[in-house]
Amino acid sequence: MTAEQRSGYRMWGGRFAGRLDPRVARFTASLPVDLRLLPHDLRASLAHAGMLTDRGIIPPEAGRQIGAALRTMVEEAGAGTFPVDESAEDVHTLIEGELSRRIGEAAGWLHVARSRNDQVATAFRMWSKEAAVALTARVAALVEALLERAAGDGEALLPAYTHLQRAQPTLLAHHLLAYAAMLQRDVERLRRAHEAADLLPLGSGAAVGVSHPIDREAVAAALGFARLSSNSLDATGDRDFAVELLSAVTLLMIHLSRWAGELVLWATAEFRFVEFTDSISTGSSIMPQKRNPDPAELIRGKAGRVLGDLVALLTTLKGLPAGYGLDLQEDKPPVFDAVDTASDALEAAAVVAREVRFRPDQMRRALEDGFVTATEISDQLTRRGLPFREAHRRAGEVVRYAEEREASLGQLGPAEWSTLLPELTAADQADLAARLTPEGAVAAKDTQGGAAPGRVREALAAARRLLAAAQEWVREREAEARRRDERLAG
């Protein structure tokens, strides 16, 4: 066995008389990052080798040896026992070098009709598809937790806020469903990211295709890809799918940050809408009374990190001409980091969602100030025939009158209402009095998407249906991956 076979296997070298400076070798190596693609690159290699053999492009015996060795290597990668030569340039070199050590000269046939350029694009797309599925499963787990809390604690009344000022009464369930709606959009974006990645670039070669009679459809079927790339030059340099995945993950983290930040606010003594229980809070190293909402703060903080990952990837891509450049070696670190960060954040968020304790008494107390049902006055006047802008002005005058007397709207008597709003009959006043309570104001919002209890129950049922669909999609994709692996295992 030569020194090259023992360590530092290279896929290239005939053109070069000298050796690569070890400092440059370390700088250009990507194995510490793209080792993560090992199981995907092995499977892609297995499908490629099977196609080459079936098409008679490589000798049958070489194909048999390559296939048998690669299947063993796939099993080892899954078990974590695959031997890693840390001096390898990248994951592709690692695999081919290990294959060469196992079966000798026959390994040299594997790289017929492919390049590392289309090879890495294929493995990265396979990884991205699986990442989208795994993240969808974790988003679904968080949505499920939110829906359970909406069903169990959702009848509590609290103020909805605009401009961080008390606005109008709503149900806690309606509030929680707002975040569920954001997360359900994230599910759709992750599904689109999966679809964007579901395209096979293998067979594009380095830039302009290959000269052998390959069967790309067979490889796509073996690997579970839905479509083939249509332009080889674009396929090797295309990272739109990575941007779409990272964009989806970034917006997901923004939604988690909004929710987490609100919980941090709600946990303050100024709000006291929630309490972080012992299982989801930590203490201070100096102040013994403190109960800190650390997981929510960290979720909020990590959103900035993921946003930075998106900017990093886009910046890498913005100046590249068509085709492959080694700049694209920088595509995977931000995507890997963002997916890992979001996965951990989702797991923590689901725990927080289940463990945080709501304070309905404090929420209800917050409805007592701020004239949060004042819109019902203008709506009542509109029903009596006043243009809304005039009704809005008159309602504002009522609020000013009550504020000057340090009274709530419910504390105004019939004589005062008759003076302030002579248009209203006694029946109108009775109707308005019912609507000026938090329960009455919420019940009045009986429109699709509104906060009325019946509408919220409808929304909760619809959210459960969307959740079930997302969970079913995850199960289907996981089953497809298992069938793919069974086919490749032979």
Written as six digits, the tokens of 16 are 């070069």
Cβ neighbours around 247 below 10 Å, total = 18
Helix 332-355 and helix 116-153: axis angle, to 10°?
Answer: 10
From CA 156, how far away is CA 154, in angstroms rounded? 5
Note whether 334 and 310 are within 8 A (CB). Answer: yes
Burial class (CB in 10 A: 0-12, 13-18, 19+), 357: exposed
From CA 213, how far away is CA 152, in angstroms rounded? 62
Note whether 235 and 229 are within 8 A (CB). Answer: yes
From CA 114, how far away is CA 211, in angstroms rounded? 10
Written as six digits, the tokens of 309 are 């990952």
Cβ neighbours around 126 below 10 Å, total = 24
From CA 386, how far away is CA 67, in angstroms rounded? 81
DSSP calls for 115-126: -HHHHHHHHHHH
- Secondary structure element (H or E) that encloses residue 200, with its range: strand 199-200
Report which of 158, 233, 168, 178 is spatially closest to residue 203, judged by C-alpha positions. Answer: 233
How large is the C-alpha radius of gyration of the chain? 31
Known catalytic residue: 281? Answer: no
Query: 3-class DSSP state for residue 165?
Result: strand
Among 194, 284, 285, 343, which one carries the catalytic annotation?
A: 284
Query: 3-class DSSP state for residue 40?
Result: helix
Q: C-alpha angle with apex 382: 376 to 387, nearest 5 degrees?
A: 130
Residues with Cβ within 8 Å of 260's Cβ and at least 6 positions away in sequence, in order, are 295, 296, 297, 299, 300, 349, 352
Known catalytic residue: 284? Answer: yes
β-partners of residue 171 are 157
From CA 286, how far away is CA 273, in angstroms rounded? 26
Written as six digits, the tokens of 48 are 């490629």
Report which of 419, 370, 427, 425 is spatially closest to residue 399, judged by C-alpha positions. Answer: 370
DSSP calls for 306-375: HHHHHHHHHHHHTT--SS--GGGGGSHHHHHHHHHHHHHHHHHHHHHHHH-EE-HHHHHHTTSSS-TTTH
Among 163, 211, 230, 285, which one carries the catalytic annotation?
A: 163
Where in the sequence numbering do the catalytic residues fall? Answer: 163, 284
